[in-house]
Structure 1
Amino acid sequence: MSMATLTIDELKSQARRLRDAMSGGGTPVTHSAALELVAKSHGARDWNTISALAARSDNAEPAPVAVGAVVSGEYLGQRFRGKVLSLSRLSQSSYYAITLHFDDPVDVVTFDSFSAFRQRVTATIDGKGVSPRHTSNGRPHLVLDL
Structure 2
Amino acid sequence: MSFSLDTPSVQTLKAEARALREDRARSGHPLSHSAALEAVAHAHGYRDWNTARAALPERISPPFQVGQRVRGTYLSQPYKGMLLGVQVMSDMQHYQLTILFDEPVNVTPNFMFAAHRQRVIGTVDIRGVSPAVRGDGTPQLVVERA
Q: Which residue of 2 aligns with 1:113?
A: 112
What is residue 41 of structure 1 aligned with on the other side?
36
Consecutive unaligned residues in structure 1, runs of 5 or more: 7-39, 52-56
Residues 45-97 of structure 1, C-alpha deviation per residue, up to 9 Å, x if partnerless? xx8xx77xxxxx9xxx6422211011111000000000000001001330000
Per-residue deviation at 1:101?
Answer: 0.2
User: How far did 1:118 drift?
Assistant: 0.3
Counterpart of 1:76 in structure 2 is: 75
In the aligned structure 1, how far is the partner of 2:105 from the partner of 2:93? 27
For residues 136 and 61 of structure 2, the distance between their equivalents in structure 1, rounded to whole angstroms, comes to 30
Q: 1:2 aligns with which of 3, 6, 10?
A: 10
* 1:122 pairs with 2:130: no
CA distance in 2, matches of 1:3, 1:65: 20
User: Could you tell me which amino acid in structure 2 is paired with residue 67 of structure 1?
Assistant: V
TM-score calculated relative to the size of structure 1: 0.60
SS at match of 1:42: helix
Given that 1:67 and 1:86 are in contact with CA atoms closer than 8 Å, whether structure 2 keeps it comes out as: yes
Map 1:1-146 → 2, pairs under 5 A: 2=10, 4=12, 41-42=36-37, 62-146=61-145
Q: What is the letter of the counterpart of residue 120 of structure 1?
A: R
Contact 1:3 1:42 in 2 (8 A): no
Contact 2:13/2:37 (CA < 8 Å) preserved in 1?
no
Q: What is the rounded CA distance, in whole Å, between the counterparts of 2:120 and 2:81 in structure 1?
A: 10
Distance 1:145 1:64 in 2: 9
Change (3 A) 1:145 1:3: closer
Deviation string 1:26-50 (CA, Å, 9 cap, x unpaired) is xxxxxxxxxxxxxx81399xx8xx7
Return the structure number with greater helix share.
1
TM-score, reference length from structure 2 = 0.60
- In 2: Cα distance, 1:125 partner to 1:104 partner: 21
Q: Once the two structures are superposed, what CA deviation does each residue of 1:107-127 show, in whole Å capped at 9, x if it has no partner?
A: 000112111000000000111
Distance 2:90 2:137 in 1: 26
Aligned residues: 108
Deviations 1:10-33 (A, max 9, x none): xxxxxxxxxxxxxxxxxxxxxxxx
% of aligned pairs identical?
A: 35
Structure 2: tracts of 5 or more residues without a match? 1-8, 15-34, 45-55
